[in-house]
Structure 1
Amino acid sequence: MNARGALGKYGEELAARRLTEAGMTVLERNWRSGRTGEIDIVAREGDTLVVCEVKTRRERSFQHPMAALTPVKAERLRGLAERWVQEHGGAPPGGVRIDLVGILVPRRGAPEVEHVRGAA
């Protein structure tokens, strides 16, 4: 695994921990739908299905992680969420929500983890 892959895996671990600490149940990680893409984390919060995009950046990177969810990416996530729901028995009573967890990893000290509910 290269450094970028290791950073992403680290970020997903932090995100899953944050979601669990917030009372969510992680159902699946790195769910793939053929060639159309991947959902980083699928979780449940009460009766709502949460599709979570995780973006991890180093402190001095070009773009803040929270700016990485573009309209195109959001549309792709909505399509992936729809496909996940179809393959897993339909939408729950609380519907589906897309969240974003942005992680900023400094050179020293603890990473900053920000969770935005209903980001897309």
Structure 2
Amino acid sequence: MLVDPNLIGIIIALFGVTATTLGGVSRMLARQAKGLDVRFDKIDERFDRVDDRFDKVDERFAKVEGDIAELRVELKGDIAELRTELRTEIADVKTELKADIADVRVSIARLEGPLPKLQRI
């Protein structure tokens, strides 16, 4: 069985076209993959920078939380001191008022004088 030389030429040409097309497609895919890798590397760098910023913000929040805790402790102590001072001042005012009320009662009693005796008609 003899094969026509034209058929052999067509088969070789189809093989060449297919190989060339597949080679071009593989090059194109490799180029796109390389471009995507570069993009992903840039995105990874951005995420790393954002992660660093978040770490700095977390450190700041930790410092602020520590400061808030210290202020709460200080305020609790100050509030306790103010409460004791207010209680002592209120107790002093109460004793002064009791003494003043007693003085007022005595002076009112002196102004009114003794009760009049019953008189006969």
Shorter-chain TM-score bucket reads under 0.3
Rg bigger for which structure? Answer: 2
Point out the structure with the larger strand share.
1
TM-score, normalisation: structure 1: 0.19
TM-score, normalisation: structure 2: 0.19
Between 1 and 2, higher relative CO (CA 8 Å, sep ≥ 6) is seen in: 1
